[in-house]
């Protein structure tokens, strides 16, 4: 790889790390933010709104990149992301933080989608194996080692700095892209499917908000899911008749659907680990955010170690075999979490999470290669955008559903022990010290339920991996 490509790869690493880091680092800061802004009930929204807005914008950015050029749209997305980061760091209330996290998510939608699209454009398969390994490791670092950086900033500065830290690095990424990236000239008279974009946004927004609302307002959730169904049907009709669809329907074949379903499940497991393992280490084991980040570094090490060899494995073995074996690793890793006890030593957990890295690498990396090479250049943005949308949907739905499992499980545990007017907020505020150990047990009980859900999800991954298509390039 020549020096120019190395610089371009470095800029991608910076941008994707920042966006992925912001997607999950709030999990590390959540206990501190709750104490600072005094609103435990809205804690899930600071995760969900970021993923919601990035989900809505992801496929739209993919199509805009195909029409107007990857570089231009990518730089616009980074700029929006940095603006949102600045505002989030200045937040004084939980409501402000949620709104500004939404702006961050709009920018992140471009970073995730176009970053992976441009990798497919610029680099060969062997180069992509290295870059994808590095980027997927960056993704892992953002989710699992990212809490180390987040914990350091929180412990030694303040939680606001998890947002401010983005700005200088984001500007550096924009500078490198502007100077070194040269691409094909986009269409001279692009046509934007505005109606399709609106219908898709309504479908995604109502789906995710509907899922989020089911726990607190069941009827509103059902209404929103009905709106999702109606807007999805209208979107399908619109895409079938427009000349420049946001999502070309012919890429929604059997192979694409299987790949995206497995991507969804793997990403669901990843976000669960990213959010709830730091919570386990801090709230159950009693360690700091910094220690939580250090303890989870094994996942990222394993991810990178296996990622750099994926391209060679894909030339030697069928892709479904690689994904099947990786799914078995995810099953084993998830099962290990179910064996934790409330007093399990931290070093045990650190060993358990190491295996996750091999599983995530073999599933997510392999599937990303397949998506990048499954279509020609002028459709790659849309195809990768759909795959990134799948990841984001998985994370958003995962955080929402598992957050509901956490809340319901803790409430059931508290109720079963006849505690009146006691909630998990008392655990974090230490306003009921006589019940601290019981609330700790309630949280552990809830997290254990989540770990069993991950085992079932991994088994489903294994079953579907049999149908993964063979890899072939369409450049």
Confidence of residue 387 (pLDDT cuts 50, 70, 90): confident
User: Tokens at residue 433, please?
Assistant: 């010290």
Confidence of residue 195 (pLDDT cuts 50, 70, 90): confident
pLDDT given at position 428? 65
295 within 8 A of 424, measured Cβ to Cβ: no
d(CA 104, CA 83): 7
Average pLDDT over residues 363-386: 74
How far CA 127 is from CA of 83, 115, 169, 358, in Å, comes to 32, 15, 24, 20
Residue extents of the structural domains in the chain: 3-181+244-465, 193-243
Q: For the segment 57-90, what is each residue's pLDDT rounded down to a tens digit? A: 877 887 787 777 778 888 888 899 999 889 988 8
Of residues 325 and 190, more confidently modeled: 325
Task: Count the Cβ atoms, other than its own, within 10 Å of residue 385.
Answer: 30
5 within 8 A of 157, measured Cβ to Cβ: no
d(CA 333, CA 459): 12
Question: Is the pLDDT at 173 greater than 80, yes or no?
Answer: yes
Q: For the segment 420-443, what is each residue's pLDDT rounded down to a tens digit? A: 777 666 666 666 667 767 778 888
pLDDT given at position 250? 64
Average pLDDT over residues 297-316: 78
Alpha-carbon Rg for the chain in angstroms: 21
pLDDT given at position 144? 55
pLDDT given at position 269? 92
C-alpha 220: how far from chain center: 26
The whole-chain average pLDDT of the chain stands at: 79
Q: Which residue reads 């490791």 in tokens?
A: 137
Q: Is 89 helix (H, G, I), strand (E, B) or coil?
A: helix
d(CA 241, CA 304): 43
Exposure string (b/e) for 17-38, b if CB count within 10 Å is 16 or more?
bbbbbbbbbbbbbbbbbbebbe
pLDDT given at position 407? 81
User: Tokens at residue 355, please?
Assistant: 């295996």
Average pLDDT over residues 102-127: 78
Which CATH architecture group holds 3-181+244-465? Answer: Up-down Bundle (1.20)
Q: What percent of the chain has pLDDT over 90?
A: 10
Helices (H), 69-165: 70-89, 94-122, 125-140, 146-156, 161-164
Q: Which residue reads 């358990």 in tokens?
A: 352
pTM: 0.74
Average pLDDT over residues 204-233: 82
pLDDT given at position 62? 77
pLDDT given at position 463? 93
Query: What residues contact residue 78 under an 8 Å CB cut-off, 6+ apart?
Result: 15, 107, 110, 111, 170, 173, 174
Q: Which of 259, 222, 214, 224 is nearest to 389 (CA)?
A: 259
Helices (H), 309-376: 310-316, 319-338, 346-360, 366-373
d(CA 317, CA 294): 34
CA pseudo-torsion sign 272, 278, 281, 284: negative
Longest distance between any two alpha carbons in the chain, whole Å: 69
Q: For the segment 196-210, what is each residue's pLDDT rounded down to a tens digit? A: 888 888 888 888 778
Q: Which of 142, 446, 190 is nearest to 299 (CA)?
A: 142
Question: Is the pLDDT at 458 greater than 90, yes or no?
Answer: yes
Average pLDDT over residues 285-303: 77
User: Tokens at residue 153, please?
Assistant: 């900033």
Provide φ and ψ at 10, rounded to 5°: -65, -40
Q: Which residue reads 């294994």 in tokens?
A: 462
d(CA 114, CA 382): 10
Q: What percent of the chain has pLDDT over 70?
A: 83
d(CA 97, CA 25): 14
Confidence of residue 315 (pLDDT cuts 50, 70, 90): confident
Query: What residues contact residue 8 under an 8 Å CB cut-off, 6+ apart?
Result: 122, 176, 177, 180, 181
User: Tokens at residue 202, please?
Assistant: 């309504």
d(CA 75, CA 64): 12
Lowest mean pLDDT: which of 92-106, 261-275, 409-423? 409-423
Confidence of residue 336 (pLDDT cuts 50, 70, 90): very high
Lowest mean pLDDT: which of 38-42, 101-105, 226-230? 38-42
pLDDT given at position 188? 60
First to last CA, the chain: 19
Task: Count the Cβ atoms, other than its own, within 10 Å of residue 335.
Answer: 16
Of residues 173 and 23, more confidently modeled: 173
d(CA 169, CA 21): 12
d(CA 90, CA 94): 11
For 228-236, the CB contacts below 8 A with 24+ separation are 228/203, 231/199, 231/200, 231/202, 231/203, 231/206, 232/203, 234/199, 235/196, 235/199, 235/200, 235/203
Average pLDDT over residues 386-414: 81
Average pLDDT over residues 169-178: 87
Question: Is the pLDDT at 278 greater than 70, yes or no?
Answer: yes
409 within 8 A of 153, measured Cβ to Cβ: no
Of residues 328 and 47, more confidently modeled: 328
């Amino acid at each position: 790889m020549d020096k120019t490509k190395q610089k371009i790869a470095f800029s991608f690493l910076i941008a994707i790390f920042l966006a992925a880091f912001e997607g999950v680092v709030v999990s590390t800061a959540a206990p501190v933010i709750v104490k600072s802004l005094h609103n435990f009930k809205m804690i899930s929204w600071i995760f969900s709104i970021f993923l919601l807005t990035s989900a809505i914008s992801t496929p739209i950015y993919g199509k805009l990149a195909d029409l107007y050029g990857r570089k231009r749209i990518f730089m616009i997305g980074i700029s929006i992301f940095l603006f949102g980061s600045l505002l989030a760091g200045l937040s004084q209330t939980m409501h402000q933080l949620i709104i500004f996290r939404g702006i961050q998510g709009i920018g992140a939608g471009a970073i995730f989608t176009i970053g992976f699209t441009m990798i497919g454009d610029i680099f060969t398969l062997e180069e992509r194996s290295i870059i994808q390994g590095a980027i997927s490791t960056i993704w892992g670092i953002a989710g699992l080692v990212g809490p180390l950086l987040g914990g350091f900033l929180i412990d030694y500065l303040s939680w606001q700095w998890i947002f401010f830290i983005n700005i200088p690095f984001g500007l550096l990424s924009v500078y490198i892209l502007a100077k070194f990236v040269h691409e094909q000239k986009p269409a001279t008279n692009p046509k934007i499917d505005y109606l399709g974009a609106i219908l898709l946004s309504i479908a995604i927004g109502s789906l995710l908000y509907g899922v989020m609302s089911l726990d607190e307002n069941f009827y509103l959730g059902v209404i929103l899911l009905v709106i999702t169904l109606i807007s999805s049907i209208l979107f399908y009709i619109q895409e079938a008749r427009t000349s420049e669809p946001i999502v070309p329907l012919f890429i929604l074949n059997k192979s694409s659907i299987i790949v995206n379903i497995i991507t969804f499940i793997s990403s669901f497991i990843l976000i669960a680990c990213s959010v709830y393992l730091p919570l386990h280490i801090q709230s159950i084991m009693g360690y700091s955010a910094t220690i939580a980040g250090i303890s989870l570094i094994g996942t990222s090490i394993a991810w990178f170690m296996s990622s750099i060899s994926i391209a060679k494995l894909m030339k030697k073995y069928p892709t479904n075999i690689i994904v099947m074996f990786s799914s078995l690793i995810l099953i084993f890793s998830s099962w290990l979490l179910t064996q934790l006890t409330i007093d399990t030593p931290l070093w045990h957990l650190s060993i358990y999470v190491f295996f996750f890295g091999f599983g995530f690498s073999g599933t997510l990396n392999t599937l990303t290669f397949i998506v990048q090479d499954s279509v020609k250049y002028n459709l790659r943005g849309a195809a990768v955008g759909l795959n990134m949308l799948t990841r984001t949907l998985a994370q958003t739905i995962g955080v929402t559903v598992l957050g509901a499992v956490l809340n319901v499980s803790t409430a059931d545990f508290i109720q079963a022990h006849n505690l009146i007017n006691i909630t998990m907020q008392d655990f974090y505020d230490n306003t009921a010290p006589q019940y601290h150990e019981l609330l700790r047990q309630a949280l552990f009980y809830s997290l254990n339920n989540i770990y069993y859900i991950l085992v079932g999800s991994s088994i489903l991954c294994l079953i579907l991996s049999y149908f993964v298509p063979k890899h072939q390039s369409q450049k």
